[in-house]
Amino acid sequence: MNQQSTATGPVNGATSAHDLFALTDEQILEIEPVSDGAAVEQPVLADYTQPILVSNARYILMTTQKWHQPLETGEYFLHLKRGNELATSNYAMQESAEGGSQAHSFRKTNFLPEEDWIFSWKSPEPLIASKQGPR
């Protein structure tokens, strides 16, 4: 599920650049309630990517609290371009190399998050380049 925006205002309800991942779980997964009220248990795999112009982000996990029950299992992945380095994460990460990127991940069972996932990385090149010609 790739989403891109060309809007100049806040994207996806974000109030600042580091809130680029500020979508609720329901928005990302496009979850709709079951009409007959019957409980349905089904694994869900969500894949969300977004272009980013800063070197830090927040992935919203706290909306899980509204479900009043933990996720049986949650796996979260961050793919960085080769040469970029994970600088911080408030969740302990495992690292692996996949193709042309560095993959960082964490897995939790019986997971009812008490905080969003906040992470940053170091890039060998500037994320935003500007060139100003003669005036």
- Residue 101 domain-assigned (yes or no): yes
In 3D space, the residue among 28, 32, 63 whose CA is nearest the CA of residue 49 turns out to be 28
Task: Please enumerate in sequence order all residues whose Cβ is within 8 A of that of 94, keeping only pairs 6 or more positions apart, or say none.
Answer: 104, 105, 106, 107
Give the mean pLDDT of the chain: 74
Percent of the chain beyond pLDDT 70? 60
For 51-102, write each residue's pLDDT tens digit: 778 889 999 999 889 989 998 888 999 988 888 899 999 999 999 876 667 8
- Residue 5 domain-assigned (yes or no): no
- Residue 11 domain-assigned (yes or no): no
pTM: 0.62
pLDDT higher than 50, residue 123:
yes
pLDDT higher than 70, residue 9:
no
- Residue 109 domain-assigned (yes or no): yes
For 18-30, write each residue's pLDDT tens digit: 444 555 555 555 5
Report the pLDDT value the prediction gives residue 10, as an integer from 0 to 100. Answer: 45
Q: In whole angstroms, give the CA distance from residue 74 to residue 42.
A: 13
The whole domain housing 86 covers: 17-30+44-122
Tokens of 101: 């990127």
- Residue 97 domain-assigned (yes or no): yes
pLDDT higher than 90, residue 104:
yes
Report yes or no: 100 and 122 within 8 Å, Cβ to Cβ: no
